[in-house]
Each structure stands twice: as structure tokens, then as C-alpha cells.
Chains A and B, each alone.
Chain A
Amino acid sequence: MNKYALIIEEFACWGCKTCEVACQQEFNPIEEPNGIKYLSVWQDGPRFIDERLDVIWRVRVCKHCEDPPCVPVCPDQAIQKREDGIVILDDKRCTGCQLCMERCPFGAIFFDEEKKTAAKCNLCYHRVDKGLYPACADNVCLAHCIYFGNPAEIEKEILEKKKARASWKKDSA
């Protein structure tokens, strides 16, 4: 069984918000001027992080946790984790009690004001199941910091990148 994950390397994010608009495009008809989106990019800082003045962009999106705290709290079993790791919130079963929103440590579950249900990133399972990348991970990111696939392989890829980023710096040190 494949394991799927959406991993964002926030270090590399520039805050261009392209992924937000890509998500919006996926879930709303072109005629809809705005509409729902399941991830948002926000600016953390400038502030002192590890004694260095820093500013970093954070992406608020469902992390499809290993052991998702939102699953057991749902009285309607509207949230399920699939064997491939994708955590799906079924809005048809959701009654809008918002318990999951309180429980999510990442604030990644939103309330859909129109449908009056909780809403979150379902990792574009409708695309993934047909062999397409999730909308935000389909190469839209100009920083190449949005990864989709097997979590172990992604971590390896990010580690390689970190090494490469440091390599030339070492040369000259």
C-alpha cells in the first residue's frame, strides 16, 4: 500500500500564496469569484527566532497526522483516515459541531460558512485516486517546497536539498 503525505518545507516558502489560489481553483468553478480554499499562508514575524531576527512563512493545512486527534472526537464518524494515510473529512456526514476544529493542534480545520460544516484539505483524494497530483502540489510552487508522495522519500529529498544548500557554503568557509 502506498503511503501519501503532503509535506511543505516552510524554510523554503516565499509567501507567494500561489498554492492558496491553486486550491481555490480546484474547488470552485471559474465563475465563482472567491470561494472556499483549504490552505492558507501566513507570515510569522519578523521576530527573534533562536536569537536571530527572522521572518518565515507558515502554511496552515491539514497534516494528515499519523494518529489524527480529529478522528475520534467526531460524533458522526465524518473523519476517517484511509490506509494510504489520507485523512478525509466527509462534509455530507458532518453536522457542523466544530469539535474537530477545537481539537486540531494546527488550526487546519476551517468552517465552511455556506455549507455550515467543518472543512479541511482532503489531500485532493479525488485527484490522487486518478493519478493526479494534489492541486497545490502540481508544480505550481515556484520555491518547489510543496511535496506530495511517500513521506519517507520526501524527507530524504528534503534532507538532500538541505545538504546541497549547505555544500557551497562549506567550500568557502
Chain B
Amino acid sequence: MEFRYSNIEREMEVYGYDSYVKSHCRMCHGGCGVIVYMKNGKVAKIAGDPECPIAHGTLCAKGLASAQLAYHKDRLTYPVKRVGPKASGKWERISWDEALDTLAQRILDYKEKYGPESIVFGYGTGRENEAVIYRIANLLGSPNVLTAGHFCYGPRICTSIITCGTNPIVNYENFPRCIMVWGNNITISNPDEYKGEPFSVALDKGAKLIVVDPRLTRPAARADVWLRLRPGTDAALALGMLHVIIQEELYDKEFVETYTHGWEPFVQRVKEYPLDRVEEMTWIPKEKIITAARLFATTKPAAIQWGVAIEQQINCADNDRLLMALMGITGNIDAPGGQVLNRPPNVVNVGQFGAHGMLSREQFAKRLGGERFRLASRFAILQPKCVWDAILEEKPYPVKMLFLISSNPVATRANAREVYQALEKVEFMAVSDFFLTPTAELADIVLPAATWLEMDYIGDYWKRHGYLLPRRKVIQVGECRSDHEMLNDLAGRIGQGEYWWENFEQALDYILHPMNITWKEFKKMNYLRGEVKYYKYKEAGFSTPTRKFELYSTVLEKMGYDPLPQYREPPESPVSAPDLYKEYPYLLITGARMPGFFHTENRQIRRLRDLHRDPIVEIHPETAAKERIREGDWVIIESPRGKVKQRAQFNLSLDPRVVAAQHAWWFPEKKDPGHGWDESNINILTDNRLETCDPAMGASNIRTLLCRIYPALKEGKNHE
């Protein structure tokens, strides 16, 4: 018998499905083509689409459980308004018209009384709703869109634009021969632009592997070199590697001479980080740093698979810039099998669609935190604490309304107690989401958002891998609406009608019009790809002010920042806070990714929750013995900000001084309106004072801090 992957015809015949729809998953960062089989008007099965150019028909646990999200019994399927105090859990069903009219009235009132800047829109790791949210905010005149952009993906976009014009993407299709995975567990997180599949294939082709991670992930276990750094010292390690590459002249001389800006001062800066110093900073023996640097610099092509862990630190922007320097001076930028500056298909881009050009200079100048975090602000990114301060202290002006769309900041933003206070205080809050999350429980109105199965959209619209893929609507659940349609409707009610459309399909036509195709035509296609071309800089230079690869950033210099990357000691470390370290004697790292979850999402989907019942804190067995913690015990983790509990799991691969906790936990099964938001939520412990953030991006330093740990029993709490 002949077997074929995802054999659609036979599946249809054997299972008697009525139809199938090809679409594009968005349970995480997107990218994966899927086949959705239908029976009696409902999703019956989800499979991968082997024709997808990104994941090649492979999927993840989340994608396969999409229907369990769409049809979940607790899902919000109609708009509701709160009829009791905040977090009372008292809700009443209302119509879409009432919901959107209420929102529109509030927006217009606040705009008139306090200015449009008093209305803050927001999203989390967006569901490709970024462009519409920016559009409505900019057209309203509000410079304030609160996103995860200060410490997630935004920094890669901002720093790459100022360094080399766009985000350099690992070119897996041409098989890098050396991959350096830095602060990323790609096969679990499937991050922006990347999927674990092409990475796996590259390793199967024989790519050498270097992994930088404080934990032994499976990629680290398979690596030729695993660099177990002291958490938060990524920049020092990168500078150490650059030191080796420069000293041993392993860099690409032609690239450096012809295409970089600021080589001489850059070399001087790197010389400030001799290996003895770097070894002391990073806890990595210098011999290992040398081995890794040589391997990376001498194997061609080579690529760096970077992850969000390097961005959620005080060194955020410089970490990104240093890794780009490593890519650049080794000649791997825009090289096949290296890191490519992809061209997207010729469509209306996210910046244009987001109507950033329509925001007046006067309103731009009012962006919260804009004077402090100037790089972020240039790219329309906010530091969240600036919003909480504006709510709680009304400084520099009051924020009266929040509209959070796919965001659960009480679990995902630093210093969660302060976030909670701000959301309790804000005068009016609307949320669009799938469930009544702990954040939504503080809202005045909650709108039922559509999942990816319930919308037409141009998938991966703002990604930099050069592809666009159609997301085709498969089902309708209750009264749920996509954020795009909802905002298109709301925009009309606040007087923006002339800039929006009768229905959102026309917006999709508008995005596609430079290609001379309509949504209906695109829907019939598998995907669009931009022009594939390598070494484009050799003809046109880089899209930077100097047309060069800016090792020395003229943009940051103009903004008043150090134009050269440097290492800053984490704000809470044995070195920077020795007195605190006596009281809090462990380095806490947070946020290792778990299969099945996407930040705070999916904890109510039983097939996925079954993979991780409880929050887990990983502790070295020696440390556990010292603290009288047994495996499986509930453990209190405490920082100067507060304490939470997670369950102990031993991990021999950690430095005994390091403890690793999971992030984004809440408990949808707890039916009180708090849903256990502060029991295991690691952001109760993290710091958000502005001086602890990256000075240019405003990234909160949530990945490494100091903590103490002890068994929960000691506190008299239940031992389960």
C-alpha cells in the first residue's frame, strides 16, 4: 500500500468528512499551514499542510488543540458588561451594538475632556491585530499603544532597523553549517519567523551547534558547545566572543572594511572585555568561549538563532546589537544559509496600514515615556510602567481608559501587583479576549474575540521571513468577532469611517492591492513570497543613515545614547546588589517555555493542561537539600517584591546558585474572579522600576533577579 503524508482524499473518504479548508494557524506566532477537516458544520480534525513553506506540514500541540479552544465550554461567546464592582465576577450579556456604542461614547468623551492620549490601546503577543490597533489609535490621535514590544520582538525590529535595515532571519532553507542558539528553545517556542522543523532539518544535515543557555535544554544537550552562562551576562559573553574573533582575525575583512560603520571604535570597545574579565562575569571558562567563538567564526555559513530571553533584560538592545555584530563581522549577513534580510511581498506594509504617518508631531511628543525610552518611542513602543504611573499618579497626564485586546498583563508584565492596582483604578477598561481572564475580570466591558479558525486574514503579515499566507475562515462560534472586524466597526462609531471599510474584506483587498490581487484571489493561493535575493547590500548598501552595517549606531548617538554596545550588570545580582544577595541568595531565572502553553494561554484546555498540571520551579538537588526541599514539594519563591509558590523539580544541569521558575501561571479552574492570579505568577516577584529597564528600549528586566526559596510547609501551607 502506498502511504502519503496528510492524504486529504483518503482522509475524506475514510472518515466521511464533509469538507476541508486549508488555513494558517495562529495559536502562537503563526507560520504553520494547516488542513481543517469539517463534519456537520464543525471542526472534526486538524492536520498539518505539507505544502506550507514554513513548517512543511508539521504542527505543535497547541495547533492540534485549536478546536478545543474554539469550542471550549467556558469561552466567552457574546459581549458582556460588568454589573458589580471590579473583580466581583458579576456580568450581564449585552448586544454588540450596546458594547461598541458604550466604548465609542467613552472614547469620544475622554478625547474631549483629557485628550486622545488619555486612551491607551494595548495588545499582548498579538494575534496579528497589531496593524489595526495601531491604525485606530493613530487616527484617534493617541500615541499610546501598550504592547509587549518593549521586551519581545520589538527590540529585534528596532535594533536591526538601526543596524542593518531589517531583522536578519536565519536562512534555514540553505542549511546553515553552524547554528548558535542563544537564549531560545526554538523547538518548544517556535518563535517569530522560525519553526522548530527547519532547525531540526538543518541539524540532521550536519550543522554544528552552539547553545547559550543557563539550563540544559535538549538542543544544549546535543550541542558541540554548551555555554552555561551566569543569567543576564549575555552581552559580556558576546563581547568576549567578539574579542576572540577580532584578536585572532577570524572576521570577514572585506565585509568589515567595505560595509561596516565604526569598526575602529567598535574594536576599542571590544578590547575592554578581555577573556579573564569575561570569564569572571559570565562564569564560563574562557577556553569554552574561545572554542565557541572559533567554531562560529570559521564555519560558513553560520547563523544565530536568538530568542526573547536576551531581550527581557537591562541589556536588551545591546544584546541584540552584539549578536548582530557577530552575524555581521563573520560575513553571514544576507548570505545563503546565514541571516537574510528578506524582502516581503509588495503589499501595503504594517507601518503604512498602522497609519503612523497620521499621528501629529504634537501627539507623538506626548507618547508616555517617550523622552526616556527614545528608541522604543521612535518605533511606537511604550514601557508599561509609564502607563501604570499615568493611571495611578496621573503623571505626566491622566490615563482614563484602557482597551486591551488579547492581553493579560496582570500575569505577564513586571511587578504584577502594581499592574493589578492600575487596572483596578483605571476609570474605564474594555478587553477583547477568549475567556474572562484575571485581567478581563477587572474590565467594564469584555468582547468575545475570534480564534484563528474564525477569521479571514493575511497571515504572518508583519513577519520578516518574506512570506504571506492566507488564513481562511472555517467556523463561526457564537457572536465572536475578529479584532479586525471589531475595530473596523468601532472606528466607524468614533468618526474614523472615511479611513476604514464597509467590511474587513475590503481592508484585505487594500493590503494586497500593490500586487494587483484581491483577497478572493489570494484566498485561492497557497502563499506569496517576496523576491529572494542575497547580498543585496553589495549593490544598494544597508538601509541605515550611513548605508553601512552600523556597529557604531549613528541613530543611537543622535538620540543621546552610547553608540557602541556595552555590558551592564543586571540590576539585581550578586555583583550589583551584594547586600541584597545575602538575604536573597539565589539567582532566579524565569520564563522557560513549555509545550502547549503560550504565555498565559491554554491553561483551561485540558489536552494541553494535562501536559503540565502545576507550575514548576527547577532547583539543583544540592540546593534543594540545603533548603530542605523535596522533589514535588510546593516551594515559596520570594523576592523583595513578593512571593508565590511553585512545585519543585530537581534539575542537575543548573548552576546550584540558579533557580528556574515558570511564568504566566493562573488557574482558570478556580472559579472565583481572581482565578489564582497571584498564587504562582512569577511577575509578582519581578521589578519594574524604570532604572532597572533597558535605557533605550525600556525592556523590563524580568529574566533574572534575586530570590530566596523554602518549602511551603514552613509557612503552614498545605502540602499536596
Contact = CB atoms under 8 A, between A and B. Distances in A.
B61 A169 contact: no
A162 B84 CA distance: 63
A70 B102 CA distance: 66
A142 B10 contact: no
Nearest to A141: B58
A67 B589 CA distance: 48
B57 A30 contact: no
Interface in A116-167: 127, 130-133, 138-144, 148-149, 161, 164-167
A151 to B, nearest CB: 15
27 contacts: A2-B1, A14-B196, A14-B218, A17-B61, A17-B595, A18-B595, A20-B611, A21-B61, A21-B64, A21-B607, A22-B59, A25-B45, A34-B606, A47-B652, A53-B221, A54-B221, A56-B221, A132-B7, A132-B11, A133-B3, A133-B5, A138-B5, A139-B5, A140-B64, A142-B59, A168-B208, A169-B224
Interface residues of A, number: 50
Given A21-B61, A46-B652, A138 B10 contact: no
Given A30-B71, A33-B606, A133-B5, A55 B218 contact: yes
B73 to A, nearest CB: 8
Interface string B182-222: 00000110100001110011011111100000001111011
B323 to A, nearest CB: 22
A11 B222 CA distance: 9
Given A130-B14, A142-B197, A25 B3 contact: no
Nearest to B228: A53
Interface stretch (B47-55, B109-117, B565-573): B47-55
Contacts of B196: 14, 16, 142-143
B10 to A, nearest CB: 6
B218 A21 contact: no
A15 interface: yes
Contacts of A30: 42-45, 67-68, 71
B46 A53 contact: no
B71 A168 contact: no
B198 to A, nearest CB: 9
B6 interface: yes
A47 B60 CA distance: 27
Q: Is the interface of A mostly helix, strand, loop or mixed?
A: mixed
B653 interface: yes
B610 interface: yes
A24 B607 contact: yes
B299 interface: yes
Contacts of B56: 139
Nearest to B215: A46
Given A12-B204, A25-B45, A143-B187, 18 more contacts: A21-B596, A33-B605, A34-B610, A45-B653, A46-B216, A46-B652, A53-B221, A53-B653, A54-B221, A132-B11, A142-B55, A142-B197, A144-B58, A144-B204, A149-B3, A165-B204, A166-B206, A168-B208
A31 interface: yes
Interface of B: 1-3, 5-7, 10-11, 14, 42-48, 50, 55-61, 64-65, 67-68, 71, 177, 187-188, 190, 195-197, 200-201, 203-208, 216-219, 221-222, 224, 295, 298-299, 595-596, 605-608, 610-611, 651-653
A54 B10 CA distance: 42
Contacts of A17: 61, 595-596, 611
B487 to A, nearest CB: 30
Nearest to A24: B607
Contacts of B14: 127, 130, 132
Contact of B206 (A46, A138, A167): A167
A34 B222 CA distance: 33
A57 interface: yes
A16 B60 contact: yes
Given A2-B1, A17-B595, A130 B205 contact: no
A132 to B, nearest CB: 6
A31 B704 CA distance: 41
Contacts of A131: 1-3, 7, 10
A16 B200 contact: no
Nearest to A33: B606
B208 A172 contact: yes
Contact of A16 (B3, B187, B207, B605): B187
A133 B47 CA distance: 12
B652 A15 contact: no
A18 B205 CA distance: 23
**Which 3 pairs from chain A and chain B are nearest by CB?**
A168-B206, A14-B187, A46-B653
Interface string A49-74: 00001111100000000000000000
Contacts of A31: 71
A33 B64 contact: no
Contacts of B57: 139
